[in-house]
Structure 1
C-alpha cells in the first residue's frame, strides 16, 4: 500500500440547478432501440473506440485481463450465433447465472442483440431459489460457470422448458462447453431490430413477502436510467458534452450483476458511455475494495451502505493508506445516514450521492452534489425526467412532514411518458395492477417505501412499509435508530425490529454487529442505549440489544429485517406457552 499525499479533494459548493434541469429536460425515446446496440455495437463498429477497454477482469490469484469493445463484440456475436443454432428465439428467456466476469458481459450483449430476454440469477441462489425462477420464467437455456453449474443442473429436471446449459470454465457432463461452442461460430451477426418497448430483461424481486415476482424490463428503461446515473456519479467522466478526459473514467461496484443495482446501475450504463468497468470475481472485503479502487484508478463507484460501513470501520482515514481517485460515488439499498455521508466526504474525498429506486422503476430519486446541494442523510429529490411524490392511501400528495408512499408518475413534468417503467410482473397481471394508483394512463406507481418530504422538496427515508412499527403508541422507523447506533465506534452494523410486548404492543429491539476487537456485554448495552437516548427521542432507544455475528442479508445487500422480526415473534409465542 502507498501513502497518499495529503490534499483537499472536496468539491466546491454546488449551485442549485435543480429547477432548471427539470424544466429543460425532455426524453427522447426512439421507436426502435436495443441495449446491446448502444452498449457495445456502436463502440465496436467505430475504429476510434473499438480498441478501448470495455471490461477489466480480475479474480484472486489471477492476473488482471483487459478486454476491448471489439473483443466483447466478437465474442457476443459468436454466442448469439450459437444461441440461434440451439433454437433460442426472440422473446425467449435465457438465464445468466454468472458472477462478475468478462463472459457475463458477453452473455448479456449476445442475448439482448438476439432479441431474447436476459434473466439474471445470482450465483448465491440455492437450488430452491434457482428452481422457482427457472421454472416460473420458462427459461429455455442457462449460462453458468463452475460456481453455479452444479446448482443449476441439480434442478434442471424440474424445469421442463430448460433445454440447454452452457458452462464457462467448467466440465459438467451434459453441459455445453463455452469455449468449444463459440469457436464453431462466425464473428458476424445480424442483430434483431427491437422496439424500445420490447422486453429486454426479466429480474425477479427479492421476495421478502411471498414468492418473488418477475419484473419485465423493456429496452427503453436504460434510457430512463441515464439521468439518475450521470447525476449520481456527479456527471464527471459521464458527461457526453463537456467531459474533459472521458477516457480516464473507470467504474467499479461490488454489486452483483444479477441484481438491478449491478446490471442497470453499473454494467449497462458504464458500457453505454463507452467506459471501462472492473469485473471482480471474488468476495467483498474492505481491504479488497480499496485495493481494487487504487490498482485500477477507479473514478466512479456504486457502494451500498453495508459495504461503506465496513470500509469506514476498517479504514477510518483511508487516504492515509491508499491512493484514491474517486470523482463520483453512489449508494442505495438502505439509508446511508449522516455518519457514512461525512466519512465519504472527508475520508474518501468525495460526497456520496444517495440514490433510491427499485427493480420495477430504477433510478428515480437521488442527489447530485455537483448540480444541486445535498442534505446529508436525505434520499434527495426526483431525478430530471421523473415526477416523484409522497402520496397517501388515496393517491393524494402528502403535506410536508407527513409520511407516505414514495411514488413515481407515469408522465413527467411535461406530461410525456417516462421511459423508466417496467412492462409488468411476469404472468401476474393482478400484481401489476396493484402497483399503480389512478387511471392507467395517468397513474402513480407505488414503491412500497415510506418517506417524508421537507419544505425544500428533499425526501427522507422512513423504511419499507412493512418495516415501520408502533411501540407504546409511537410510530418507529428503524433507519434513524440504526444510523445512530452505527455512529458508535463499537458498532459495525445494526438492524432494528419490534419485539412483541404484552403491555406496549412492541418494544424497540436492536440486533448489533460489533466492530472487530469489541466484545458485547451488559456495560456496552447500557452504553449503546445511552448513546441513542442522548441523540433521539426517548421512545426510540432500544429497550433490548442482542449482539449477532452477521445480519441476515438479501443477495442485493439489503438487511432482511423481516427475518429478525419473525424470529422475535416466534420467540414470543414460545415463551407464552
Structure 2
C-alpha cells in the first residue's frame, strides 16, 4: 500500500479548531494524571511506564505501580529533608527511570521541579541553582561532581541526592528511599500553581527562568495528539491497551523532552523509552527496532544525520513508526521527503517555546502537512503573525509569531507560563497589550500563506539584510543540505563595507561523501575550492541569485544548544569579531 501523500489528506482543520473548547479544572496536578491515576486502576497499574535502556546494560521495564511507589518514597524523603510546597528541587539527570520518579515525586508534593541538563558546566549550573534558590538537587554519576563543585556557592542548597553514585556529602538514592514510607498523601494543587521552572537558553544575557503551571500540561495535549497523528494516543479511550511506544532523544531537562515526550506519554498511560546514552543514527535505528517504537520526536539535526547515514534504512532496520514529530528548526523538504519515502511516515513539524509550548504544528492525519511549514495553530490556540504594533500581518508579510491569551471562543488558553522567575519586567515585555487580553510574542519570525500555514523565517535576530535584500537563513540551509556533501549548515551575515553584509555559510561535510572521494587528502585546498564552487552553483540553481553564499567555510561541527538548535548567534558574533580585527 502506498504512503498517503499530504495532498490525499482530508482537511478537518476548521471543524476541529472551531469545535474544540478547553476544560481546565480549578485543581489539577501533573503527577496525579501521569502516574497516580493509573495505579488506582488494577487494569493499568502493572502496565509499563518506562523502559530504561543504556549501553552495556540490560533493558528494564518499570510499571506504573513501581513508578508511583518509588515516587511516594522519594516524596516522603524530601518532606523529611524539609522540602515544602513551592520549593524548587533541581533534577540533574539524563533519561532514566529515576528521572521520571523524581518528577512525579516533586510534582505530587506541590514542590517545583527544576530540570537541569547533564551537559551544563559548573558556571551554568551555579547560576541556575543560585537564581532559583533550589533547596535540593537530585543527580547521578554523570552530574554529581559538577553539582558538588558549585554547591558551596549555593547557600539555599541543603541536600544532594545521588543515584548510583555514592559520594561523601551526598545522600544515596537507594538507601534513602528504602528507609522512607511507601505511602504519601499527594498535595491537592491548584491548576494555576507552579509545577516546573525551566530556564531558557539565554542567547542574549543571562538565562531567564520560565515558571510553568500544572495546567500547561493540558494546554500541551492538543499539540501532542495532533503531532502524533492520534494513533495510540486517543484522548477518548486512554485506558484501552495500545501497542504505542514513545521515544525521543530529546533531553528530559528540556521542554521538548519533558513537556513534549515524558509527561504526555505518561498522561496517556503509554510506555516511554528512557535511553541513557549518546545519540547516533545507528543507535536510534537499533533502539527503535528493538523496542518497536511507534511514535517519536526527532529534531531536524537528528533526522538529517539519520538521512545521511542510512539513505534506505528499511533495508537494514525493521522500524514500525506511525508518527514523527519534529521541531527546533525547519525540517526542509529533503528531510520531509526522506521520512515519507524511506520511513513511511509524514513528519509533523511543530513549533513552540518554553513559555508557550506546542502551539503550532501539522497533523498529517487530520489536515495536510506541508513540507517545511510550521503548520497552523493547534486546537485551542489562537495564533497569528503580528507586526511591531500588535496588528496581524497580511498574507506573505513577515512578522512575529504570537499567541493570544484567549482562544477563538474567548476562553483563557491554559498553555501560558506564569511569568519569568523574579523578572516582572521581562514578563511584561513578552506581551503586547493588556496582560489579561494580549498577544504573547515568541520572538520567532514567520510568514502566513493564504491557507493559514506558517513558514518559519528564523529568530528575529537571525534574519538579516545583504545588499538590501532580506535574508532568512533557513531556506538556504535547507538547500545546502540537499547536496550529498553536506551533513549540516548554518547561514549568517558576514559584515561587508559595500553591501552591509554578504551571505556566509558554515558547512559540516558528510563523512559518507568524503569517504567516497578517491585521492582526496585531509585539508585538500583544491578539493575544497571545487566543492565551494559546486555548492554555490547548487544554491544558485534553486534559490534567488542574491541568496547563494558568497563565502563558505568548512567546519567539523556547528555550535549547538543543548536542545539541538544551531546557535547562529555564536557564528554571527564570530564574523563581527573577525571584521573588527581586520578594520
TM range (shorter): over 0.9
1:119 aligns with 114
1:106 counterpart = 2:113: no
| Alpha-carbon distance in 1 for matches of 2:91, 2:236 | 34
What displacement does 1:291 show? Answer: 0.4
| Alpha-carbon distance in 1 for matches of 2:535, 2:188 | 59
| Alpha-carbon distance in 2 for matches of 1:117, 1:124 | 21
1:570 equivalent among 548, 556, 577: 577
2:543 aligns with 536
* Larger CA deviation: 46-55 vs 567-576: 567-576
1:459 equivalent among 451, 454, 460: 454
2:491 equivalent among 487, 496, 501: 496
2:23 aligns with 28
- What is the CA deviation profile of residues 316-372 of structure 1, one whole-angstrom value per residue up to 9, with x for unaligned ones? 111111111101110000011111101011111101000000000000000000000
Matches of residues 381-392 of structure 1 in structure 2 within 5 Å? 381-392=376-387
Question: What is the TM-score normalised by the length of structure 2?
Answer: 0.97
What displacement does 1:242 show? Answer: 5.9
Q: Is the 8 A contact 1:166 1:177 kept in 2?
A: yes
What displacement does 1:247 show? Answer: 2.0
What displacement does 1:241 show? Answer: 2.8
The residue matched to 1:457 in structure 2 has which SS? coil
The residue matched to 2:59 in structure 1 has which SS? strand
Matches of residues 364-443 of structure 1 in structure 2 within 5 Å? 364-443=359-438
2:139 aligns with 144
| Alpha-carbon distance in 2 for matches of 1:297, 1:464 | 36
What displacement does 1:15 show? Answer: 1.1
| Alpha-carbon distance in 2 for matches of 1:501, 1:115 | 55
| Alpha-carbon distance in 2 for matches of 1:517, 1:241 | 46
| Alpha-carbon distance in 1 for matches of 2:3, 2:271 | 23
| Alpha-carbon distance in 2 for matches of 1:113, 1:311 | 38
1:81 aligns with 76
2:252 aligns with 257
2:201 aligns with 206
What displacement does 1:240 show? Answer: 2.9
Matches of residues 10-89 of structure 1 in structure 2 within 5 Å? 10=4, 13-89=8-84
The residue matched to 2:60 in structure 1 has which SS? strand
1:3 aligns with none
1:294 counterpart = 2:289: yes
What displacement does 1:487 show? Answer: 0.3
| Alpha-carbon distance in 1 for matches of 2:242, 2:57 | 25
What displacement does 1:14 show? Answer: 1.7
What displacement does 1:243 show? Answer: 8.1
1:468 aligns with 463
Q: Is the 8 A contact 1:11 1:350 kept in 2?
A: no
1:487 aligns with 482
1:336 equivalent among 320, 331, 334: 331
| Alpha-carbon distance in 1 for matches of 2:138, 2:330 | 34
Q: For residues 243 and 341 of structure 1, do their structure 2 counterparts lie closer, same or farther at Cα, with a shift above 3 Å needed?
A: farther
1:523 counterpart = 2:530: yes
The residue matched to 2:42 in structure 1 has which SS? coil
The residue matched to 1:262 in structure 2 has which SS? helix
Q: Is the 8 A contact 2:238 2:268 kept in 1?
A: no
- What is the CA deviation profile of residues 33-91 of structure 1, one whole-angstrom value per residue up to 9, with x for unaligned ones? 00000000000111000000000000000000000000000000000000000000000
| Alpha-carbon distance in 2 for matches of 1:343, 1:211 | 38
Structure 1: 5+ residue stretches without partners: 1-6
1:555 equivalent among 531, 555, 562: 562
1:311 aligns with 306
| Alpha-carbon distance in 1 for matches of 2:512, 2:475 | 25
- What is the CA deviation profile of residues 433-490 of structure 1, one whole-angstrom value per residue up to 9, with x for unaligned ones? 0000011121000000000000000000000000000000110000000000000010
What displacement does 1:187 show? Answer: 1.1
Q: Is the 8 A contact 1:14 1:370 kept in 2?
A: yes
What is the number of equivalent residue pairs in this alignment? 570
Q: Is the 8 A contact 1:236 1:243 kept in 2?
A: no
